[in-house]
């Protein structure tokens, strides 16, 4: 599919904006989201192009923040060919040298869901996310029109983490990673990002998209530790090296 035909398809899309609601990351702010018409026929090429403009996937929905008077959510991606591990990241990689990875399709697996449920109960208690079901899990992570992969990380035969990864035309999107809370000291979330950067480079892809960076949110601030990185300001990606 040519670039011009992709742009024509995107130009025909309908977008909707949600009413304002409480922000999940900055408690004193109101948030609003633009999302692509969920009845539209989407494909990987269109998703790839929309990602360039800051869109992200949640289930079958493509969305991006569009908040009145606030631009705190900044799209961020890692140019994998230029990525340089820092000392701490090299330690994380070495610490997990005994981990085995398996790339799987997005079929529901009870073992994955059980780990996801444990993770939410431990990491997000009382916020509503810990009240999950298999249906909510699939609606959050799965998408029929996209080549998503579930990457298993195992220590011997024990599942310690799963990374949900979208494979786009020119990059990967790190959708979500969940892990065994008992293995927190291994930094499995950081290891999963490092693994995706290496995998993207092996596949000849250009970027790993990490979603949104929010400078004021401790939960999101870790993303700038992977350098260099690029942030989207307006419609232009700007590289940050220091």
**What percent of the chain is modeled with pLDDT above 70?**
95
Strands (DSSP E) along the chain, which ranges?
A: 15-17, 21-22, 30-31, 33-36, 56-58, 61-65, 74-79, 99-104, 148-155, 158-167, 171-179, 207-213, 229-233, 236-240
**What percent of the chain is modeled with pLDDT above 90?**
86
The structure's pTM equals: 0.94
Whether domain 77-106+149-240 has CATH 3.40.630.30: yes
Measure the CA dihedral 199/50/213/149, to 10°.
-30
Cα distance between residue 47 and residue 73, in whole Å: 19
3 state SS for 132-146: CCHHHHHHHHCCCCC
| pLDDT above 50 for 113 | yes
Domains of the chain, by residue range, sit at 3-74, 77-106+149-240
Residues comprising the chain, all counted: 242
pLDDT band at 127 (very low <50, low <70, confident <90, very high): low
- Characterize the bridge pairing of strands 229-233 and 158-167: unpaired
**pLDDT tens per residue, range 24-79:** 899 889 999 999 999 999 999 999 999 999 999 999 999 999 999 999 999 999 99
């Amino acid at each position: 599919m040519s670039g011009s035909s992709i742009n024509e398809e995107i130009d025909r899309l309908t977008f909707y904006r949600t009413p304002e609601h409480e922000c999940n990351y900055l408690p004193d702010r109101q948030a609003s989201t633009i999302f692509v018409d969920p009845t539209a026929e989407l494909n990987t090429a269109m998703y790839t192009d929309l990602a360039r403009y800051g869109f992200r996937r949640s289930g079958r929905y493509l969305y991006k923040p569009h908040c009145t008077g606030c631009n705190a959510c900044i799209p961020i991606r890692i140019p994998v060919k230029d990525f340089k591990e820092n000392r701490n990241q090299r330690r994380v990689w070495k610490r997990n040298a005994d981990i085995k990875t398996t790339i799987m399709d997005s079929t529901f697996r009870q073992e994955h869901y059980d780990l996801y449920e444990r993770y939410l109960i431990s990491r997000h208690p009382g916020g509503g996310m810990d009240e999950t079901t298999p249906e909510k899990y699939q609606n959050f992570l799965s998408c029929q029109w996209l080549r998503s992969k579930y990457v298993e990380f195992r220590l011997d035969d024990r599942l310690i983490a799963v990374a949900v990864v979208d494979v786009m035309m020119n990059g990967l999107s790190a959708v979500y990673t969940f892990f065994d809370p008992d293995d927190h000291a291994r930094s499995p979330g950081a290891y999963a990002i490092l693994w995706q950067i290496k995998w993207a480079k092996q596949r000849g892809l250009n970027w790993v998209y990490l979603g949104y960076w929010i400078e004021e949110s401790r939960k999101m601030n870790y993303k700038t530790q992977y350098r260099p990185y690029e942030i989207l300001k307006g419609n232009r990606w700007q590289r940050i090296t220091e």
